């Protein structure tokens, strides 16, 4: 089959996207497919003349993505693997474009991608569907809310520590574990670098878990043991900064309960194909679901491949199953 791998982009997660795409392209080539890697960062005019002669890698500006997808070397592809992380690649815009162009692609559609990327909407849907999630406050700094007013409201509602994060970023970009009021304003200001909407969330002391999905079914629960207090960006993407246990050491009834709640969350957000949801398990063995990732990473430290392997599915087979799932959706 002819597969186009979308990669790179200009979001804060560009480097992770490039690493995921490299692994994805290698796997599909090993599986005998014709693969074109398509970066979305350089001006289209710089490489337009090279399109005809470049066999493996193409680069373009994101404003010209429609034009490039319509190129004769691209438009007849069988499948598009969207390996973009964050930004337009993950928030539903690329998915909507591929839908309009009637191209098959991996993962969830535009609606699910959009609501999953928005942590506020996700948490509201979790609540409506009886999926436990940490208590939170949402602030929009475009609404003339002062930093001092935010600090006071947070202090009135929560005990420290709390989590501060942008409401529309992934990979824990802009996320901070705040231990006291003196650090709160600085964390808010850093989160605001990624947009006007921020989330302040109660911190759940406990174990860091995640549940991956494949073909709309949960994979084994995986436990993450980061070197830092939380599974932050450095622990996610630096080898040796986290260890993993899959299946997680849980009583079978508890593992089943977590998977059942994970499915409720998956269905509430209208996901399909594959995804991953992160959660914390407190000392009373109550799981609190944090957020859904509709385009999980495929790097050396990524979690869905680890969970799939625990279920007997090696990386190259995992990629085939993701493609097969995407091919069946209209």
The three-state (H, E, C) secondary structure of 79-119, written as one string = EEEECCCCHHHHCCHHHHHHHHCCCCECCCCHHHHHHHHCH
Annotated catalytic residue within 278, 280, 302, 326: 278
Annotated catalytic residue within 20, 113, 122, 293: 293
Is the separation of the CB atoms in 110 and 93 below 8 Å? yes
Annotated catalytic residue within 90, 297, 302, 326: 297
Beta bridge partners of 277: 211, 292
Whether 244 is a known active-site residue: answer no
Annotated catalytic residue within 59, 169, 208, 291: 291
Whether 276 is a known active-site residue: answer yes
CA distance 185 to 259: 37
Whether 297 is a known active-site residue: answer yes
Enclosing H/E stretch for 197: strand 197-202
CA distance 248 to 251: 9
Whether 291 is a known active-site residue: answer yes
CA angle (118, 13, 4) in 5-degree steps: 95
Longest dimension (CA), the chain: 62
Beta bridge partners of 158: none
Annotated catalytic residue within 13, 59, 91, 169: 13
Annotated catalytic residue within 171, 197, 242, 302: 171
Annotated catalytic residue within 105, 108, 169, 276: 276
The per-residue DSSP string of 250-313 comes to --HHHHHHHHHHHHHHHHHTT--SEEEEEEEE-TTS-EEEEEEESS---STT-HHHHHHHHTT-
Is the separation of the CB atoms in 304 and 212 below 8 Å? yes
Q: Dihedral of CA 296/233/116/99: which sign?
A: negative
Whether 293 is a known active-site residue: answer yes
CA 233 distance to own-chain centroid: 13
Is the separation of the CB atoms in 99 and 110 below 8 Å? yes
Whether 20 is a known active-site residue: answer no
For residue 103, count other CB atoms closer than 10 A to its CB. Answer: 18
Residues noted as catalytic: 13, 171, 237, 276, 278, 291, 293, 297
């Amino acid at each position: 089959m002819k597969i186009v791998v979308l990669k790179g982009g200009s979001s804060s997660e560009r480097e992770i996207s490039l690493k995921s795409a490299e692994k994805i392209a290698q796997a599909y080539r090993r599986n005998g497919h014709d693969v074109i890697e398509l970066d979305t960062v350089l001006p289209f005019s710089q490489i337009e003349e090279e399109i005809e002669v470049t066999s493996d890698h193409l680069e373009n500006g994101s404003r010209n993505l429609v034009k490039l997808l319509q190129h004769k070397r691209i438009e007849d592809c069988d499948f598009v693997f969207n390996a973009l992380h964050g930004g337009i690649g993950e928030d539903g815009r690329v998915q909507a474009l591929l839908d309009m162009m009637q191209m098959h692609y991996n993962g969830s559609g535009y609606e699910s991608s959009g609501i999953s990327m928005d942590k506020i909407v996700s948490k509201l849907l979790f609540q409506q569907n009886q999926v436990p999630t940490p208590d939170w406050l949402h602030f929009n700094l475009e609404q003339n809310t002062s930093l001092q007013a935010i600090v006071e409201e947070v202090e009135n509602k929560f005990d420290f520590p709390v989590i501060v994060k942008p409401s529309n970023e992934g990979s824990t970009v802009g996320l901070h574990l705040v231990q006291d009021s003196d650090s709160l304003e600085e964390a808010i200001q850093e989160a605001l670098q990624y947009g006007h909407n921020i989330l302040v969330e109660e911190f759940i002391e406990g174990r860091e878990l995640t549940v991956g999905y494949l073909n709309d079914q949960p994979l084994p629960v995986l436990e993450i043991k980061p070197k830092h207090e939380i599974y932050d960006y450095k622990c996610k993407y630096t080898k040796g900064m986290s260890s993993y246990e899959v299946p997680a050491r849980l009583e079978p009834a508890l593992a089943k309960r977590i998977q059942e709640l994970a499915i409720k969350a998956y269905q509430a957000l209208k996901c399909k194909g594959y995804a991953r949801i992160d959660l914390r398990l407190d000392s009373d063995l109550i799981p609190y679901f944090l957020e859904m990732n509709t385009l999980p990473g495929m790097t050396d430290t990524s979690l869905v491949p680890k969970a799939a392997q625990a279920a007997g599915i090696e990386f190259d087979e995992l990629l085939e199953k993701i493609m097969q799932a995407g091919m069946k959706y209209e």
